[in-house]
Amino acid sequence: MNAQAVLLSGNRLHLSHGPIDLIIGADGARDTAFRAAFARFETVLTELMTELPLLRQPVDAKPQGKIARRMYRAALPHADGLTTPMICVAGAVAEEVLAAMVDATDLTRAYVNNGGDIALHLTDDATFKVAIAAPDGHSLGTVTISSTDAIRGIATSGQRGRSLSLGIADAVTVLARSAAIADAAATKLGNAVDLPCHPAIKRAPANNLHDDSDLGSTLVVTHVANLAKTDVVQALERGETAANAMRDARLIDGAALFLQGQSRTLGLPEKMKHLQKGPQPCLTS
86-99 confidence digits (pLDDT tens): 999 999 999 999 99
Residue type, 218: T
**Domain limits for position 19:** 4-283
The residues, any chain, with a CB within 8 Å of residue 263's CB and separated by 6 or more, are 236, 256, 257, 275, 276, 277
What is the pLDDT, as a whole number, of residue 42? 97
Q: Is the dihedral of CA 236, 242, 245, 246 positive or negative?
A: negative
What is the pLDDT, as a whole number, of residue 277? 41
Q: Give the span between the Cα atoms of 114 and 93, in whole angstroms.
A: 8
What is the pLDDT, as a whole number, of residue 140? 55
CA distances from 251 to 29, 134, 182 (A): 32, 26, 8
Number of domains in the chain: 1
CA distances from 90 to 19, 21, 117, 193, 257 (A): 10, 10, 6, 21, 20
What is the pLDDT, as a whole number, of residue 285? 56
The residues, any chain, with a CB within 8 Å of residue 86's CB and separated by 6 or more, are 55, 56, 71, 214
What is the pLDDT, as a whole number, of residue 278? 42
Mean per-residue pLDDT pooled into runs of 10, the chain (285 residues)? 92 95 96 98 96 93 94 96 94 98 96 95 91 54 86 88 83 94 96 94 84 77 93 97 96 91 77 43 57
pTM (2 decimals)? 0.90
Q: Give the span between the Cα atoms of 245 and 134, in whole angstroms.
A: 27
Q: Helix, strand, or coil here: 167?
A: coil
What CATH number corresponds to the domain at position 225? 3.10.520.10
